[in-house]
Amino acid sequence: AVQHLALLREDIVREAELPPRSVIRDETLLDLARRPVYTVAELQQSPVLPRSLARELGEQLVQALVAGRDDRTSRKPANNRLEEKARERQEVDNLLALAQCFCLGQQVSPALCYSRQDMLAYSRDLGSRKTGEDGADSSLLKGWRAEFIGHPLREFLAGRTRCEISWNKHGLVLAVRDSKAETH
């Protein structure tokens, strides 16, 4: 259900040209997925969603929750999972660590942005671009994920940017800077 809700939010923010968390917070998406409701009336009574959002997006949210439920009940074991080769494991582990810093440094749950399978497809896509082949169809290179994580990771891996990680009272903070910029 969380994937359907995240996709709905992605469509809404793309159309409104807003950041994802400004429409529906990550925590709210996760709470809705954990305790799904299947009618607009139930959604309007839900303590996890502001009433104004329930009125405005209620029908769409219920459709996403129902689609998530239907996917879960009809899903067969996935045969199409990408299998990692031994040499890919280390690269994917490194990409996951880096992506986690990118997400947490911007106070966004990594679980809403990518999975290990997404990162494996992304890694393969990056590798195929280096050799001039058509890449895998990575979800990290589409929509808000491309802007939020896919392209920044690619810029960092290409050496065009550098990351500074620090800690403050709110948690991890990430600053992405141009590699050519001078440090003081």
64-85 pLDDT per residue, tens? 888 888 775 544 444 455 677 8
Is there a single domain that holds both residue 173 and residue 93?
A: yes
pLDDT of residue 98: 92
pLDDT of residue 78: 47
CATH code of the domain containing 96: 1.10.150.80
- Compute the CA torsion angle 134, 123, 17, 59 (nearest 10 deg): 100
Q: Does residue 121 belong to any structural domain of this protein?
A: yes
Low-confidence spans in the chain with pLDDT less than 50: 74-79, 132, 134-135
Range of the domain at 125: 86-178
Distance between CA 176 and CA 48 in Å, rounded? 33
What is the token pair recorded at 51? 């009433």
Q: Does residue 80 belong to any structural domain of this protein?
A: no
Is there a single domain that holds both residue 97 and residue 52?
A: no
pLDDT of residue 94: 92
pLDDT of residue 129: 61
Is there a single domain that holds both residue 59 and residue 111?
A: no
pTM, 2 dp = 0.53
Q: Does residue 114 belong to any structural domain of this protein?
A: yes
Residues 6+ apart with CB under 8 A from 17: none
Angle at 20 (CA atoms; ends 19, 25), nearest 5 degrees = 125
Q: Does residue 42 belong to any structural domain of this protein?
A: yes
